Amino acid sequence: MIELDGLTKHFGRKVAVDRLSFTVRPGMVTGFLGPNGAGKSTTMRMMLDLDNPTSGTVRIDGRHYRQLDEPLRTIGALLDAKAMHGGRSAYNNLLCLAQANRIPERRVSEVLDIVGLSAVAKKKSKGFSLGMGQRLGIASALLGDPEILMFDEPVNGLDPEGIHWIRTLMKALAQEGRTIFVSSHLMSEMALTADHLIVIGQGRLLADTSMADFIHRNSRSYVRLRTPQREQFLDALSGAGLAAAEAQDGVLEVDGSTTEALGELAAEHRIVLHELSAQRASLEEAFMQMTAGSVEYHAHSADAAPAPPPTGPAAPQWAPRNEGA
Amino acid sequence: MTTPHQQPAAPAASYTSPIPIRRAHLGDALASEWTKIRSVRSTMWTLGVMVLLMTVIGLGLAALVTAVGEPAPTDESVLGLGVFGALTGSICVITLGALTVTSEFGTGMIRTTLTACPSRARVLAAKALVFFVLAFTAALVTVGLVALCQVAMVDGREPTGEEWLLGTVGVSLFVALLGLTSLGVGAVVRHSAGAITIMLGLMLLPLVAGFFMLGSSALQDVSEVLLEYSVPAQLIGVYGEAAGSGPAGWGAVATMLGIAAVALGAGFAAIGARDV
Ligand SMILES: Nc1ncnc2c1ncn2[C@@H]1O[C@H](COP(=O)(O)OP(=O)(O)OP(=O)(O)O)[C@@H](O)[C@H]1O
Ligand SMILES: [Mg+2]
């Protein structure tokens, strides 16, 4: 169990993490979601006592990280796949970690086996591909067989098979009663793995909810249709007590109804339909809406006017602009 | 990827550590740091170059002196020939000392290291200890063997016991302490090139500045202090020939010990306080 209480981190005038309080519980996968620069990695570094919080506390099973006796045997973390010495072999990189916490040497071979790197155990980690580096980082997290595991964007650079593997691994680890905390920018990825969801934007907590709840509340379903007799159809709709939102290219989106009901309504009024389909807004959209106000680094596309960040302590000083991209 | 993939993980389930958890201590950190330092090739290369330079320069000088056949000056011992090798070798030790710490910051390994051992003081102490023992041992063996050869090759006054001790143990201590200073500087600046540059500057600038000031009578005193306390002057001092009123013999080793203590102290303060 990890408990955060009012965790705050300032970098100069920049507030990277802003009064975060939440609890990561055992026995499930907790997804930690936020757009680029939201403060996920900074929060995780503070959990591991690598960055000093400006204020607030983190407790791991009730204790401060520094009070853990042999930390790797309580908590394992993958922060940055490249956080190893490239000139050292994968085996030796893990061995020196194992020795620091009296983990038996045979465990090094075991975890290399688990992540599928046995064949390159004696190779310098410098030559590893992105995915292999990620696997080595996961191996180091598993080394002490800890009850808490923390992964910062573990699927980064993994191929589809690797992504499937890490998903299965995380679920299995959670099933054993461990606490799994995993960050991502991808809602779709989290929907497949996480049981609980914590969303942050610009360092602030935006949501702390179960995955099922989030899906239930945020997956809006609607009917999409096109018709050459637009005005007549809109009249018919309002007659039936329904409203339509107008999307691009003359597409209408109707909430709170079904394809069956709308098809019959059109037939009743002798209106020609060119398209009629049931749609479900993706969780990705829900996530983007939730964080829209706190996204720091917008790509400025030609037609979609960017939402100016309405809140936030200071206007981003160095948001990249790719005009006309 | 070219690796054989294990099938969808039977994860760490079955593993139960045979060893009960207890508080980790310096011994664990030392084992870890020893594995680190011996398992990168650059360590061995740097030490190898040091041994090579000290041997070649030491023996070369001895051969040169013998060939020229000048009558050996009676007042100084043959061991003094070792100073050039030691000075050159110390550059390798400086590099190794800095790299011991900065390579972790450069690669990001430091984060992994500190998650395993959150006591930063313990990590730095273990690094300093392992490095010091390694550098001192390598220097002592090389300096000792080269000195034996030099005494055998060049005929001059037989060194006294005290001279032997200073010319081997004293010099090796001095060089290893210089490396320790570099390690402390590395912990402060966290950057390999930066740390090595600062150390080379520390070694050479006082000498250069001192020579420039020699011309001016106003700066006479400053110039003398700079020259007498510069690292090369002190290293010569270890062999017993003090530059002016500067430290000589064990006094020079003690001065170096003081400098190393200050640098390491700064390193401990920096690594303890800052984010990584
Ligand atoms: N060492 C640092 N010095 C100054 N600012 C920093 C530092 N580390 C992070 N920041 C800033 O803090 C904010 C949060 O960064 P962080 O890396 O935690 O975001 P993130 O959620 O992990 O983003 P991403 O999804 O891109 O990995 C960013 O605006 C970043 O610029
Ligand atoms: Mg990040």
- The confidence score (pLDDT) of residue B76 equals 67
- The confidence score (pLDDT) of residue A203 equals 93
Residue from A8, A13, A14 whose mutation best tests the ligand 1 pocket (most atoms within 8 A of CB): A14
* Smallest CA separation from ligand 1 atom 2, residue: A11
A70 to chain B, any CB pair closer than 8 A? The answer is: yes
Any ligand 1 atom below 6 A from CB of A16: yes
Closest ligand to residue B276's CA: 1
More confident residue, B190 or A156: B190
Rounded to whole angstroms, the Cα distance separating B41 from B34 reads 13
Same domain, A8 and A105: yes
- The confidence score (pLDDT) of residue A144 equals 93
Please state whether A274 falls in left (phi above 0), alpha (psi between -120 and 50) or beta: alpha
Rounded to whole angstroms, the Cα distance separating A104 from A72 reads 13
- Residue A152 counted as domain residue: yes
Domain span at residue A66 reads 2-216
- The confidence score (pLDDT) of residue B8 equals 41
Domain-terminating residue out of A261, A280, A299: A280
Same domain, A209 and A227: no
Same domain, A246 and A204: no
B17 with A52: Cβ contact below 8 A: no
Q: Residues 136-195, chain B: which have Cβ within 8 Å of A?
A: none
Q: Give the start-to-end residue ranges of the domains of chain B.
A: 26-273
Any ligand 1 atom below 6 A from CB of A291: no
B118 to chain A, any CB pair closer than 8 A? The answer is: yes
Same domain, A128 and A156: yes
Same domain, A64 and A87: yes
Any ligand 1 atom below 6 A from CB of A14: yes
Any ligand 1 atom below 6 A from CB of A41: yes
Rounded to whole angstroms, the Cα distance separating B233 from B231 reads 5
State pLDDT tens for residues B159-198.
Answer: 888 889 999 999 999 999 999 999 999 999 999 999 999 9
Same domain, A88 and A203: yes
CATH number at residue A264: 3.30.70.100
Contact B85, B55 (CB under 8 A): yes
- Residue A311 counted as domain residue: no
- Residue A297 counted as domain residue: no
Same domain, A205 and A240: no
Same domain, A10 and A154: yes
Any ligand 1 atom below 6 A from CB of A34: yes
Same domain, A194 and A247: no
Total tally of structural domains belonging to chain A? 2
Same domain, A64 and A105: yes
- Residue A301 counted as domain residue: no
Q: Residues 216-245, chain B: which have Cβ within 8 Å of A?
A: none
- Residue A208 counted as domain residue: yes
Same domain, A48 and A87: yes
Rounded to whole angstroms, the Cα distance separating A146 from B12 reads 9
- Residue A131 counted as domain residue: yes
CATH number at residue A138: 3.40.50.300
The tally of CA atoms less than 13 A away on the side-chain side of residue B82 is: 37
State pLDDT tens for residues B38-57.
Answer: 999 888 899 999 999 999 99
pTM over 0.90: no
Of A168-172, A311-315, B245-249, B257-261, which gets the smallest average pLDDT?
A311-315
- Residue A305 counted as domain residue: no
Closest ligand to residue A317's CA: 1
Of B225, B177, B179, the residue nearest B199 (C-alpha)? B179
Q: Which residues of B touch A83 (CB under 8 A)?
A: 107-109, 111-112
